[in-house]
Structure 1
Amino acid sequence: MTPATRPADAAPFGVLASRLRTDEKRVLEALERRRMPYEFVDSRALWRDLADTTARWPVVLNREIGHTRALYAARALEAAGCTVLNSARAIELCGDKYLTSVALRDAGLPTPRTALALTPQAALDALEAIGYPAVIKPLTGSWGRLVAKLPDAESAATVLEYVAALPSPASHLVYAQELVDKPDRDIRVIVVGDEPVGAVYRRSSDWRTNVARGAETLRCEVTDDIAKLAVTAAQCVGADIAGVDLIEDAAGQLMVLEVNHGVEFSGFRRALGDDAPVADRIVDLLAARSASCSG
């Protein structure tokens, strides 16, 4: 991506978040280093009158950590005429594992065998068809929370009995997926503006390879296959900034597991250092999108 510049009198970018983590601070530092004006927008204080269609920030980087707040912030800002990265549509697709899976399937990308059951009882039939071992996951959520590994039908029946007792009807929807026989790692690729910034292996002794659960990040070469799969996955959900998770099966074939709209990149940077300037690439994208909006 070619670095873009902005006129000195250009309207400021908006950077939306409720928490300034290390990742957000790096983006703000990159904006300041390049003397690009911005305003930090605390999502906890954000409100928009529907009649107000004034885009105070023509381009907004949405770094809100909460899915619901991020989604409706994007919707409200887009209704006011702002360009939001990522868009409400991308957040909606990425934030729901089933919608992501449908988009990946429609794009013809390889994924683990997946099913959606509308009741815990139906999930037993779905899991039987998929085969054990398998996993069930909440439709929304991250960091590997509430993901259950099911080695056999007996364990599935026990777990799904608890699922059936949950009070929320949404909790009774079961996203079921085959457990791919993979190495003790997956691959995280960060894509910004339809280009891969880099890739890391996330290695763990646990079957879940989330950095938030203590996984180790190691450099991974971005091969042509990895680049093509990751970029296409980000494009099919409309994500301008994405963390794409890939896995390798026992034969070494790549599959797309999921696409994350609010990608964190501190562990990524620890593994790749200056070879993966994620914050600068995000700023390049903001500037390019601003130029296209004003042009």
Structure 2
Amino acid sequence: MNQRIPVFTDDPGWHGKRLKEAFAARGCEAVFVSLKECALRLASGEQPAVLIPGFEHELPAGVFVRGVPGGTLQRVIARLDILHALKMLGVVVYNDGNAVERTVDKAMTSFLLHLNRVPTPQTWVCESRYQAQEIYLRETMAGRQLVIKPLFGSQGQGVRKLTSSTVFPVPMEEHVDGLYYLQTYIDSGEGAWHDHRVFVIRGQAVAAMIRHGSHWVNNVAQGGRCEAIAAEGELAQLAEAAARAVNVDYCGVDIIRDRDGRLYVLEVNSIPAWKGLQGATGLNIGQCLVDDFLSCMHSQPVLTVAS
């Protein structure tokens, strides 16, 4: 009987289909499960148990994390608790809860990049509108532009550029929500906007592309045009350094080159999309991920815990 592997996601879509095919190619069956349907059972005198639909009698040797559903703070913490608990019970969690926490939170990602001296834009995070406006005035008066982003978010949604003529956003405005995450704007070339996505697996850059945009936000979801480039040299080294800084099994690293040729890491995504990258490079990224996941699973002693 094929080994069954839970893939945590609420929307399998294109990526789920690719993972299912990749697991099948290695004699495994991918089973899509929502973290919302999982639970903890903590009873006196019993081994702590994680309940996963379809795996009631025995925990799997590994789980593949493709999505953590959003929701209230309590619900998100409970879903991350499931990932933490599974790892503590000896299950391979790919990427694990710590990696997801470090990267879904842009402030912590920025902190870790700066701490590990990985080039990244100057960043400020604060709740005070007074502090944020003071930063905004100081930077724009010095001729620098800022970018404001939601702390949680992806695909370029809610990202705005602030210039000296911009009306400063108020805390309750959409995508601000009482918190200011500000970064220095890195100009990749007015009218010729572009950035790079590098995919890193187990510390090694395996694929890369350049994204050309008709706007300064170059995400594929925002209409960016993808072109394959070699995953090597300074670009690959910087992406690998970013992956080490946040300590993930795999990730998509967004990198931008300014007008003077300097590279900066913009974001590290621990649940990255790869449809555009695979289309541009032809590399079967889903198979690369599954093969690395299975090698992790097989290199770790299996701890069977009845749930």
TM-score (norm 2): 0.84
* Partner residue in 2 for 1:181: 187
Gaps of 5+ in 1: 1-7
* Partner residue in 2 for 1:278: 285
Out of 205, 230, 243, which is 2:252 matched to?
243
Q: In 2, Cα distance between the equivalents of 1:288 and 1:212?
A: 32
* Partner residue in 2 for 1:21: 13
Displacement of 1:77: 2.8
* Partner residue in 2 for 1:4: none
Q: In 1, Cα distance between the equivalents of 2:32 and 2:172?
A: 42
Out of 140, 145, 148, which is 2:160 matched to?
148
Displacement of 1:36: 2.4
Displacement of 1:72: 4.3
Q: Give the counterpart letter for 1:17 in structure 2.
A: T
Out of 100, 104, 120, which is 2:113 matched to?
104
* Partner residue in 2 for 1:5: none
Query: Which string of whole-angstrom CA distances, capped at 9 and with x for unpartnered residues, describes residues 134-153 of structure 1?
Result: 1111111111111111111x
User: Does residue 124 of structure 1 match 2:133?
Assistant: yes
User: Does residue 288 of structure 1 match 2:301?
Assistant: no
* Partner residue in 1 for 2:65: 62
User: Does residue 269 of structure 1 match 2:269?
Assistant: no
Q: In 2, Cα distance between the equivalents of 1:32 and 1:103?
A: 37
User: Does residue 88 of structure 1 match 2:97?
Assistant: yes
Q: In 1, Cα distance between the equivalents of 2:250 and 2:301?
A: 21
* Partner residue in 2 for 1:52: 49
Q: In 2, Cα distance between the equivalents of 1:74 and 1:143?
A: 24
Shift of the 269–204 alpha-carbon distance from structure 1 to 2, 3 Å rule, reads same
Secondary structure of 1:135 counterpart: strand
For the Cα contact (< 8 Å) 2:5–2:60, is it kept in 1? yes
Displacement of 1:38: 4.0
For the Cα contact (< 8 Å) 1:186–1:209, is it kept in 2? yes
Q: Give the counterpart letter for 1:12 in structure 2.
A: R
User: Does residue 137 of structure 1 match 2:149?
Assistant: yes
* Partner residue in 2 for 1:3: none
User: Does residue 34 of structure 1 match 2:32?
Assistant: no
Query: Which string of whole-angstrom CA distances, capped at 9 and with x for unpartnered residues, describes residues 121-174 of structure 1?
Result: 21111223444311111111111111111111x41xx332xx323599x82220
Moved more, 27-36 or 128-137: 128-137
For the Cα contact (< 8 Å) 1:197–1:277, is it kept in 2? no
Q: Give the counterpart letter for 1:52 in structure 2.
A: A
Shift of the 55–111 alpha-carbon distance from structure 1 to 2, 3 Å rule, reads farther
Q: Give the counterpart letter for 1:101 in structure 2.
A: S
For the Cα contact (< 8 Å) 1:130–1:177, is it kept in 2? no
Shift of the 34–214 alpha-carbon distance from structure 1 to 2, 3 Å rule, reads same
Displacement of 1:80: 4.0
Secondary structure of 1:165 counterpart: coil
Q: In 1, Cα distance between the equivalents of 2:33 and 2:262?
A: 42
* Partner residue in 2 for 1:12: 4
Shift of the 34–107 alpha-carbon distance from structure 1 to 2, 3 Å rule, reads same
TM-score (norm 1): 0.87
Query: Which string of whole-angstrom CA distances, capped at 9 and with x for unpartnered residues, describes residues 180-200 of structure 1?
Result: 121311000011111112101
Gaps of 5+ in 2: 43-47, 51-56, 71-75, 303-307
CA RMSD of aligned residues (A): 2.3
* Partner residue in 1 for 2:177: 171
Q: In 2, Cα distance between the equivalents of 1:166 and 1:267?
A: 32
Shift of the 101–294 alpha-carbon distance from structure 1 to 2, 3 Å rule, reads same
Q: In 2, Cα distance between the equivalents of 1:194 and 1:167?
A: 36
* Partner residue in 2 for 1:214: 223
* Partner residue in 2 for 1:229: 238
Q: In 1, Cα distance between the equivalents of 2:222 and 2:29?
A: 36
